[in-house]
Amino acid sequence: MIDKEGKIAFFDSGVGGLTVFDKFKKLLPKESYVYFGDLKNSPYGAKTKSELIVLADKVFKFLETKNVKAVLMACNTTSANVYEELKNNYSFKVYPIIQSCAKVIAQSGIKSVGVFATCATINSHAYSKELKLHNSSLQVYEQACPKWVEIVEKGLQNSSESIQIIKQDLDLMLENKPEKIILGCTHYPYLINILSKFAPKDMFIDPSKFFAEFVKSDMENLGLINENSTQSEEFYVSANNKEFVSAASVFYEVKSLPIIADL
């Protein structure tokens, strides 16, 4: 039996999961939150499935010590590669981003969609599989953007070299003429200002909004919302806490230095 007075946790390799956390906190402002960024092992997109299983399991076991009722995998790479293997192993409910958003995107009336994601997500074809479960005629173009996570973590999004890399990747995708493009890595919304210099902003789908709405509604259905809680937030990283605060600042103000939890 999950305790509805527990905390809600967010898990990512770094600052990307804040794009989900920020939206979720606005939907449920009274809950207590824990955020974990596995910066010691970032980027996850370059890891193998078995490496990702080991890393995610360590983070989940750490979160089990923090009185957590639900964990949002605010990381597409682990949602694609470890959710099925690990989902039933812990004392809390686990929510994966891709599987939680695929239906609403697939049934939004579009006929073709691009997916930008990490190498490990693209190699798993998780987006294409999940989207086609809900709309078998949807045309899906998947493309890895291997350098984007590092650009975000290092706060280099405005350098001319980064802009050139982003534009090159975007141009390649645009050759397919997709109606929309999913930002299938939670770090990528940090790059929306650059992307929208070269393509209309409304072309890009940030799944974090759908993910936050899905989890809120599921937790309501399961009776897991805590109406009496007073909002709090704790941040943990496995390394580089100062760098985390600095990279996050484009998007989210982390008010106190995250605690380093060396798993």
Q: Is 183 in the site for ligand DGL (CB under 6 A)?
A: no
Nearer to ligand DGL, 45 or 178 (CB): 45
Binding-site size, ligand DGL (CB under 6 A): 16
Q: Is 173 in the site for ligand DGL (CB under 6 A)?
A: no
Q: Is 37 in the site for ligand DGL (CB under 6 A)?
A: no
State how far the Cα of 206 lies from the Cα of 190, in Å rounded to an integer: 10
Residue 93 in contact with residue 2, Cβ under 8 Å? yes
Nearer to ligand DGL, 13 or 229 (CB): 13
Q: Is 13 in the site for ligand DGL (CB under 6 A)?
A: yes
| Residue 119 annotated in active site | no
State how far the Cα of 65 lies from the Cα of 62, in Å rounded to an integer: 6
**Three-class SS state of 16:** coil
- Which amino acid is it at 14? G
Q: Is 12 in the site for ligand DGL (CB under 6 A)?
A: yes
Nearer to ligand DGL, 6 or 45 (CB): 45
Structure token pair of residue 240 = 């580089």
Of 44, 63, 17, whose CA–CA distance to 261 is shortest? 63
Q: CB-hemisphere CA count at 13 Å for 191?
A: 35
Of 103, 102, 104, whose CA–CA distance to 115 is shortest? 102
- Of residues 114-133, which lie at the interface with ligand DGL (CB under 6 A)? 118, 121
Q: Is 186 in the site for ligand DGL (CB under 6 A)?
A: yes
Rg (the chain; Cα; Å): 17
**Three-class SS state of 92:** coil
DSSP H helix total and E strand total for the chain: 12, 10
Nearer to ligand DGL, 82 or 138 (CB): 82
- Of residues 144-163, which lie at the interface with ligand DGL (CB under 6 A)? 149
The verdict on whether omega for the bond into residue 43 sits within 30 degrees of 0, i.e. cis, is: yes
Q: Is 105 in the site for ligand DGL (CB under 6 A)?
A: no
The structure tokens 């209309």 sit at: 200
Q: Is 205 in the site for ligand DGL (CB under 6 A)?
A: no
| Residue 101 annotated in active site | no
Of 112, 141, 111, 109, whose CA–CA distance to 128 is shortest? 141
Q: Is 212 in the site for ligand DGL (CB under 6 A)?
A: no
Q: Is 135 in the site for ligand DGL (CB under 6 A)?
A: no
Give the pairing type, strands 112-117 and 139-144: parallel
Q: Is 73 in the site for ligand DGL (CB under 6 A)?
A: no
Stretch that binds ligand DGL, among 88-96, 127-135, 180-188, 220-228 (CB under 6 A): 180-188
Q: Which x/- pattern over 75-94 shows residues binding ligand DGL (rule: CB under 6 A)?
A: xxx-----------------
Nearer to ligand DGL, 25 or 187 (CB): 187
Q: Which positions lie near ligand DGL, rule CB under 6 A?
A: 12-13, 16, 42-45, 75-77, 118, 121, 149, 185-187
Active site residues: 75, 185
